[in-house]
Amino acid sequence: MIVDRAESSKTKLYCPKCNYTFDSDEGRVEKAYLKLLVEYDRKGLSIKEKYKPVGTEAIARSLEEVKQEVSRQKIEYESLKPAIKKILGDRKAYLVSYRFLPEQIPEDGPRVTEVLDGKYGLWIESNFFRRFFKFQSTAVSEILKGKNVVLVAPTGSGKTEAFAIPAFIKAREYAVKTDFHNIRGQKTFALFVYPTKALARDQKPRLERLAEGLGVTVAVFDGDTKRAERERLCDNPPDALITNFDIIHVHLALNSRYSRLFKTAKMIVVDEVHNYIGSFGSHIHYIIKRLERFTGPLQIVASSATVYNPREFCEKLFDRRFEVVEETEGRHGDTHFIIEYPSIVSGRVYRTQALKEMTQNHYKVLAFSNGHIDAELLLRYARKERINAEIHRAGLLREFREDVERKFKEGKIDAIIATPTLELGIDIGHVDAIISDLVNVTRLTQRAGRAGRRGQESIILLVLREDDPISGYYRNHPDDYYADVAACYVDPSNPIVREQQILSAICDRPIGYGEGLYDEEAIEKLAKEGKAEVVSRRVYPTKKARKSAIESNIRGSGRTIEIFCEGKSIGFREAAIGISELHPNAVYMHGGDNYLSRELKCVGEKWVAYMEKLPRDHPYFTKSLGTVIPTVTRVNETRQAYGLKISFCNLTINKIVYGYIQNKIGEEGKGKQSMLENPIEYEYETKGFVFRAPPPSRIFDEKTWDRHLLEEEVLAGSFHATEHVMIEGSNMITGGGAADMGGVSMGTTGMIFVYDGTEGGNGASKLLYDRLEEAFKRGKKILEECPCQNESGCPRCTYSYQCGNNNKILHKLGALEVFEKVLSNEQSEPDFSLRDKTIV
């Protein structure tokens, strides 16, 4: 197959075997190629060579190649079930990788009674299991010694028993001791903290079964706990309390009667600790410090299935030393692990077709999307294919989500389309297969742990994106996907979070001079705002302070946008993100429904968006257009990466949304562009790094660009493409951190900023800053290996789905030369005085 781009708006395809030429005005070669295949079939022409390469890439692997890939795993292709064979042999996608993981179980350890003496060990052996797994026995022993432990083991391997058994034994021994000495009566010893109320309540029966025989009481206290139950808990505290950090934060700040339940704790168990990254983790860092003002030093046990850097992360998050107990083998049945790259359909269409294939073959499926818009669109596609599926994501009412879980458990629906809300260990019953949008291997492992937990054979299907640099890279380097295990990140120095939490600490109990949380600069600022007053070197809250403290959102930082429809609040979005989704005339998808934003405005310190409901089958969605103006307020540190001097800084980001594109669903990239009458602006403080890229020169010597372009446009386009590849390609380096970052290239200056997309900072850009050498090497490979011939590149190399400028002014060859110069150690350092038109 020969591809010729003789005309800027046409793609010419020619097959020498059948002497057939076909012109297409499709934007992508693959889509044009699909049309050619349809023409082949319609005209009855030979299609023997249908799947020949386009450019330098094959559209799909031949059946023989698929069989060879399967045989490398010592599996006979013909022995596979029909659904698995259909997915592996699908001609609309390129099989990137197939791995077979045989049934696994963690390594056996000692008898329970060898680890636990007396009645505790005997009861567990009689009612649960006779033998610990090795990692469980190690964890139990370390926790009983009073050590801070981070426990890392696959989903379904028995982590809960490993941390709950020693926690309950310690709680029981403490209760006996305090009752014997008649010291203040019964009180809560252990807090079990979960990231969501749903997961906490799902775990309660499991914890209660363990607690009962160990002589310990367990209860739940969260936002759904009724008033009468809260009063009962205060009058008769349980030994162990299941809760969340939101509740601890609010009731400490209120200094409520219920806060006594937390103030007596001696141990805190933090399950699914990998959720506490970014600004959320910064809040948790301070909430622990606030709690310890009452409890004294806490023993902390953290648990996760997916922490690559457990000791480093937990020590930064909780500010103390940790012991690591790790298990790599999880309990699951035979697993078929498949990675596919969509070639002639979009990733969303391919995921829909795979979902249909699996459900028709009676698999119970969880299909994961990384964002709420993709999940809503995938649900629309599934409904068109008559797939019996529902959606589950954050922002929907708890009753709605619980109803979806119940329907799946009872077999009333075949599939759930979910955002990461179902990555956690909520029991939704029998799951046979996982379909996932692109995430790092660490997150995929977490998702995969939901399937095959009853020992049944399962399928894990990762679908790469058809228009994405990192997907193109993994298509060519699948082994790197498995090696790119994610690191968790947190930035406790986030100044916005620190200020909010110091205000809350003052509300908990006045802060004295010299306390660890005393911050003179933050306290002076709070006093000027009328939220604090200093009397005799002690800081007290004002009436205004407590209201501000309890309204702060610990799952983000900065202000939020409250969303209204027909006079009722239907949700919130962080303002730094929300102005791009809720600007006037934006289509906002929520719970399977569509809304049109009529107005977005700032009222005092609050942002509000007023929505109008659209038909469920509304055929359009929108993408914002905007720009960003960064200002360096302080340089925190500087280092060399090859010849570049790179500075990590405090930044002020001025974000401006000036327009939007209206796309028809299924026809992305062809939408109509509109300008807002009044652009939306939002300014916030964050952190990031800056460097000055060396300018390309060879492209100007060789005149390798269209003559209608000015040299300034080529130069700006080269830097703009460099910025895109740096961030999109960094997902390999930061474990998905690209979604939490933004970037700006400053016109022709070469100045490139990469920053945290969260107010105050979240740690993602610092993770990339520390690993830039690897990012430069892989960025060069992305550009070199992409077969496109476009001057601006394509979605698989230079384009960014986050680009606020609709991927305008990009130059692929110029960007490649920039990467080559960086890797050859050309010297360059930033100049903060340079100002030019920004390109995001």
Q: What is the pLDDT of residues 40-74, one digit of tens each?
A: 434 433 333 333 333 446 788 889 999 999 999 99
d(CA 511, CA 324): 34
Residue with the larger pLDDT of the pair 105 and 290: 290
What average pLDDT score do residues 208-235 get?
91
* pLDDT score for 505: 94
Residue with the larger pLDDT of the pair 153 and 496: 153
240: helix, strand or coil: strand
* pLDDT score for 313: 92
Neighbour tally for 397: CB within 10 Å: 11
Task: Tell me if 562 sits within 8 A of 569, measured CB to CB.
Answer: yes
* pLDDT score for 564: 92
Task: Tell me if 298 sits within 8 A of 270, measured CB to CB.
Answer: no
* pLDDT score for 47: 35
| Arithmetic mean of pLDDT over the chain | 84
Q: For residue 621, which of 391, 376, 807, 801 has the smallest C-alpha distance?
A: 376
Q: Model confidence at 157, in pLDDT bands (50, 70, 90)?
A: confident
* Pairing state between β 672-692 and 587-590: unpaired
* CA 68 to centroid of chain Cα atoms: 34
Q: Which phi and psi (to 5°) does residue 73 adopt?
A: -95, 10
**Is pLDDT above 90 for 376?**
no
* pLDDT score for 33: 46
**Is pLDDT above 60 for 89?**
yes
Task: Tell me if 277 sits within 8 A of 486, measured CB to CB.
Answer: no
**Is pLDDT above 90 for 605?**
no
d(CA 337, CA 423): 17
Instruction: Provide the 8-state DSSP code for 774.
Output: H
Kindly state the tokens that stand for 135.
């990692």
* pLDDT score for 82: 93
d(CA 528, CA 683): 21
Specify the pTM: 0.71
**Is pLDDT above 50 for 357?**
yes
* pLDDT score for 277: 84
Q: Which phi and psi (to 5°) does residue 337 adopt?
A: -105, 110
What average pLDDT score do residues 774-803 get?
85
Of the ranges 27-36, 159-168, 240-249, 559-568, which one carries the lowest mean pLDDT score?
27-36
Kindly state the tokens that stand for 499.
């200020």
Q: Which residues contact 651 (CB under 8 A, 6 or more apart)?
A: 630, 631, 632, 633, 685, 686, 687, 688, 753, 755
